[in-house]
Structure 1
Amino acid sequence: MITTPFGATSTAADVLAGVDLRGRRAVVTGGSSGIGVETVRALAGAGAQVTLAVRDVAAGQRVAGELGHPNLAVAPLDLADLASVAAFVAGWSGPLHILVDNAGIMATPLLRTTRGYELQLATNHLGHFALATGLHRALAAAGDARIVSVSSVGHVNAGVDFDDLQFDRRPYDKWVAYGQSKTANVLLAVEAAKRWAADGITANALNPGRITTTNLGRHIGDIGSAPASFDPASTDVSWKDTAQGAATSVLLAGSPLVAGVTGRYFEDCQEAGPHRPGVRRGVAGYALDQEAAARLWRVSADLTA
């Protein structure tokens, strides 16, 4: 088990204090809101050149201006639109040292992309899969690149249903769909860690925790309709602000404490233990399953071709 001196109350700035990321290039999806902003702030503050890959370019430019770092760039990216992902990949040149798959949506009503894919799976997983595979050469060129896949404790609500990924036959449940997409985030890291080890690429997933102010929960509505992981009276997972919520992301993206670590799932800046029923912590066994990870990779490659 990987442990660090940091914990649930550590901030992104705490984690990267004294870390020098000059000369390293990073992409943060969803970098214009929530923990994405704090991830960008911490990486840029440590010297990295950071591209905010965002749907709303104006919002990205506004955030970049507010952060005030000279080494920030903004580029359009709509993860639900594979043509947009392809355009982002085509526009990238040179090595890429850090890819933070941070953007996501949660608990939407049943919506589909133009290809007919369920929107949460399409945005949270398939878009990031297409992005990572499209940027593989750039990541390999870095020699020691890191992929950071932002999952959620919500992954314990559902594994990946390979027989009906898109809810074509089973009744749609927004939390099951979200859980499936977040399990897929972990499985992506597990398989990328295996496939791309020879390229020096590491890949890890994480649970950022429950964040007090973020746009992610805009579709939830009454919190009483949400699973126990969103119950404000729950004591097994603490609420965090965005700076604390970004801490585990930037740990995996830039800290020398986890250099060479790959294929793991973290929370509160530590490698997580196994999930136990009734506790909203830990990683479900199915999310680390090697066979499921390999199968999802093959299926995702077909769906994004």
Structure 2
Amino acid sequence: MSNIKPVTYQNLGWESAADLYLPPAFDASVKYPTIVSTHPIGSCKEQTSGNIYAAALAEAGFVVLAFDASFQGASGGTPRLIEDPAIRVSDIRFAIDYLVTLPYVDENRIGAIGVCGGGAYTIHAAMTDHRIRALTSITGVNFGRLIREAFSEFNPVGAMEAMGKQRTAEAQGAARHVIDYLPPSVEAGKQMGLNDIDVLEATEYYKTARGQQPNGATSGLFSFNSAAMGWDAFLHAEVLLTQPLLVVIGDKPGGFGAYRDGWEIYGRAASQKKQIFVAEGWSHYDLYDKPEPVALALEKVVPFFREHL
């Protein structure tokens, strides 16, 4: 079994909270290849980025850091529940800053992995921080595209106007408006007319004992979501994304768009060494924690990092 060590370290004007997953028979005198693991939107370090992928990679011999995003989980920053892509990417850089201070981390063998929104944040971080030597996106979703499309009901300008009015109201003293990205239950979602596979399977993961965690908020501060409107996870990938890249997706497309985003970044990345693995018969949320599809993913992920780190 891997060992889990809770840690904190300095971010911009607050501290980040993280869990270090250490390999079995960990020896602090040895330099280890190390991986930063980034959680999905509305998630936390105790969910798929930590308890599934970080744990498995630690078992395979890597040191892995699973962290909570700024303004979320146990990390600092106010107001709470901001989902700002630029800061989410910056969080990965600060995670690396912390890791390179540890004597058992090989600073020349640092990789990164992320799940869902965390997968796309990892891609963007690798473009702008080449201390990341290799990266994996697990069912990655480009949050900028998603918020311009489905999350704004395909009316991004109207959504931005509403966000601007709400932010002004909050600046003038109104209560913060926190939106839940998901219905309270699968049944409630169906009664609301929601039938998209990603929405219903996300609800089944996050709103039941299967994946529910105290810090897995599945919510965001509405007035600050405008920061994602002009952001694109894949911008300049044709020039800046040169590291070895592994993209993992399921072949059951859903409304969050991981299938299309996976193929897009695989095509656009400048990486000379890149591969895409499609888990046939499995969906976006199956790849979060279901043993069979996760095992299929790890059969690709572990050898990939062993080769490139």
Tell me the TM-score normalized by structure 2: 0.37
The structure with more strand, counted as a fraction of residues: 2
For the pair shown, the structure with the greater C-alpha radius of gyration is 2
Q: TM-score, normalised by structure 1?
A: 0.37
